[in-house]
Structure 1
Amino acid sequence: MCINDDTSLQEMFSIYYQAQSQVSVIELYVEFDQLPNMVEQHDHNFDWENYNGDSEEEYEGNYDFDDPNADEEQEDCTIESDVTNALANPHVVKDGKFVIRMEFNSREALIKVVKDYTIHKGVNYRVFESEPTTFYAKCVQYGQSCDWLIKVSIMRRKYCWEIRRYNDSHTCTRATISQDHSKLDSDTITEAIKPLVETDSSIKVRPVIADIQSKFNYTISYRKAWLAKQKAVEKIFGGWEASYEALPTWFETMVKKEPSAAVEYETLSCYRMDELAQDVRVDGTHLYKKYKGVLLVAVSQYGNNNIVPIAFALVEGETSDAWFFFLRHLRTHVVTKVGVGLISNRHESIRSTVFRCDGAWEPPRAIYMFCIRHIASNFLKKFKAPFMQKLVVNIGN
């Protein structure tokens, strides 16, 4: 981007603050333009030698980053060093409250402290403004039974985050929050359980839930705890994919360091068709929200009964033509052996397609069967007899 005025300079710093975790410095390319006759006409008496000094203070003074929301009065930015460890040190917010002019060394540190405060208070907040230079939040019951709000913006020159406006009259009760807390997200939980995971990377999910309950007095869902544990494992030990991709480089380095070492390795596909079970199960599910349509999926099993996906297709709907497209290519490119079983529900589009594939899914090349789970479900809907439903399942097995 071209930096040629105060606005573009502010924009440069705003972009930098958003990306400083990946980009540690700002790199500038300076281009000098020749301005004819300017010096002769206007600046005969300008002291260029004194202006071209090396003073760092003078340089910084010429390039202030002016925040339009900032006050005119300037103070030095004293960073709260413990803010970045807010979860480990809940006393960063002194006496359980924020104060005007409290400073934070990053946007992430600010949001972490606000989250920690509301979680421990048993209340919740809604973000009304979240811009590169400002963060403005209010209690969800603001204007009803509570006047809690916090507004933070970047200070001038020092680029710290400073609380500019703050009210605290938290009178809403913990009962307004559900058993879980929306701000107790997987990232917050990840930071809290890192010591547990570092000690035992194979720790079960239940102890993670119990640990969070003891720390925050909230009972999180199994899914949220599981996601947090996976994130913690990846942060501490690295991701599985990255570790796998690093193996060849690691082998090469090891051989260079120790010439007598010998390394041989080969890669295989995630499954082999001859290792799969003798049947293939197909089904479709509707897609919602932004992208519509239907996802068609084919799965099989290893000998140890682990389910493995072997093919999928995105189609406009569960039409006969869509299923024909999927089953024809499934038979041509994936399921090539003879005597395989094809299992599905009783969807008419699938049934009609089987007979359009020129015997590809019919005896002796294949056997077409109906899913016993769907049969049992339909049986229960019609006869309302759970004990007889079990007999149907047993017969099918």
Structure 2
Amino acid sequence: MASNSPYIVILVYPNYRMRNGDNGVTFECEDPILFRTQRAETLSDLRSLISSKLGGSETRKIGRVAYRLLAPMGNGVFRFQLFRLLGDEHVRVMFDVYGRIMVEQVMDLSAEVGHYDRPLAPPPIHVAVPVDEAEEGEEESDENYMVDSGDSDLSASGDQDECVPETPVPTVARHVLPPPHPIPALSAVPSHYHSLDLDAMHERTPFLDTGEEDYNLDGGVEFRVGHKFRSREAVLQGVKNYSIHRSAEYRVIESDRLKYHVQCRQAENGCQWSLRVALRQNLGYWEVRRVGGVHTCLAPTMSQDHRAVQASYHFKPSYRKVWTAKQKAIAQIYGHWEELYNEVPKLLQALQSYFSGTIFVLRVKPFYDGHLLVCDYSMFDKVFWSFPSCVKAFKNCKPFVSVDGMHLYGRYGGVLLIAVAQDGNNNILPIAFAIVESESTESWSFFLTNLRHHVTPQNGLLVISDRSQAIKAALSADDSGWHPPRAYHAYYIRHMAANFMTRFKSAEDKRYLINAAYSPNRAGYEWYMDVLRGVSPAMVD
């Protein structure tokens, strides 16, 4: 029965009760059995193993055995789902999955336990419930149904008003076993199964069989046989929401005024998910009649081809809806703007704690409610920071720094100011950063003063910038520390060439200007400038 595989810890729940919680399916019983064993190769061996661990003098009969396994629900959400063991192949796959992916986890099994002198389950009730795994294209006859006592609303007394033809349930009770649940090939198991965070895996909306209509309009629960929709439009919307929530795409197999049948687009790759909803004409609502399997395609994201997605879901959202959805997604991933501003001091203190020597200067300003000053609150104004590795590296860089700003496009805007240096291999090295409200003289003075004081105290530096008047005013301030001979100011040739081209509209003369700026000596510089002066004295003014 056992191989040379490592031992596996198994927890068996005899005559279990199954519940749906935040993490999916869970088992409950009064006396679960915990033991360690090696892998079993057949279903009969597994049943014998469970029977031997039950204890007692009398022999117990082991009926149906099932296990629970983490399955992806879309959008990074995982949930435990029930898988029944219906053959030897299922047993081998189960042990392979736990041996390769969840070797550190306890294997949870459920088992129906009884005596040989009495049946394991009460006689079946004559209720027709669709088999989950019926083949596509088969007629909806009684051969596609199994007996189940959990859906009394699908009894023979209420099936005469179903628009899809059905074979009446015979008077002789019989069981039709469902085919096995689809189990993904072990070679196709994604790598992220090897590092699962069980505490973080949850589903937003656990399934509750409340009997409410239009139950899946938020896409947060699985489809179940017997659930109802008020209209065909509600069916279409429910399927769209479910597919978007699961990051799965579907194709419509059949759609008319009486029924709606869809399946996963990855059906040819082995995914067995499908859904059939039909109109019950006498009762005036639509009802889920068949759910075929679960998604095993493990699609991490939906298609990024927006036209294909719109054609698939028959829905073209407006620009405002897409923008609003993006803002909600940003808030879910990163948090709300107001809350994150409150985290700025903690972030800076954490940087100092983990990167000793980190420099930061945080400025806040008073907060007013109308014309009243609120004493216990302050408002973010500006922040400067630099890392000790940047300060140390600049000592070995070329003696110049380039400064520029970049506008931020969040809710509250702002500008990111940055200073970069260049090493001997012409690699760019960022050395200082600041976030300010705008590129004003005050903001540039705040940034350049702290840059000079904390990062670049060396003499003889060259500061390169665009022709911003705010930068020029900040560098010219009496207390800036950027006056000759300690520092010099120059402009980006790219900005100068762009302005030159805008004014004089001459590509050839623009090249002369660039060559003058890159001349390695003064003689070469003067030669190019004389050429420009001969074309037009205004070009060199």
The TM-score, its normalising length taken from structure 1, stands at 0.44
- Computing the radius of gyration from Cα coordinates, the structure with the larger value is 2
Report the structure, 1 or 2, having the larger helix content: 1
